[in-house]
Structure 1
Amino acid sequence: MGSKKQLSDQIQLSTEGKRRATIEKVAKDILSKISDYGASGQDKDSEQLLSGSREQETIESDNKKETAFVFNVIDDLNQKTTTALSVKDTNFLINRVEQLAKDAVENDAAK
């Protein structure tokens, strides 16, 4: 029975490790998009404009994609909902990430 408990713990750790890795990857992606977004309200890469209306429309379309973080939420019933978060409206997200980082440091220090 002891080996069954140990195997269960290993599976749980593996699942927890995958969960944490996913959270870290998503957090890095969010922070990367936020940090790449310029203070002027435009993506830093969009400062160089191409001539011609068709090329300009393509750039604007690409910028809209880059200024939103699109993610999926899976509920308790395994239903997927796709949601977008504008990079412009990220102050609350930055504050939450900072709080989570502080909590993680405090939890590690308490161990």
Structure 2
Amino acid sequence: MTIPKPSGIGKLFVAACLIEGLTWTGLLIGMFLKYTLEVTDLGVWLFGRLHGVAFMFYVVVTVLAALRLRWPWWATLIAVLAAVPPLVTIPLEIWFKRRGMLGQAPAVR
């Protein structure tokens, strides 16, 4: 079985997943440095802001992708909820890509 290549909005969704995951990682490292090692709060200051923007970008792109690619309601719900726990958007994107959910929308009948 061949996996279809992501469409334009599918590629944007992939990018949003990666950005959201990377900013989560930066925020987690920043929290470790601030609260565990008590070295600096710069990571939380910087990545907290970046992750806030990335989170909002991810949610908007997810809703647009869901509408344009005609995802079922359950896929849209899972995709939005995946942004809450750390680093879940990346495996979700891989799963959606393998299911062919990032390619062209199915034809309307």
TM-score of the two chains, using structure 2 as the length reference: 0.38
Larger radius of gyration: 1
TM-score of the two chains, using structure 1 as the length reference: 0.37
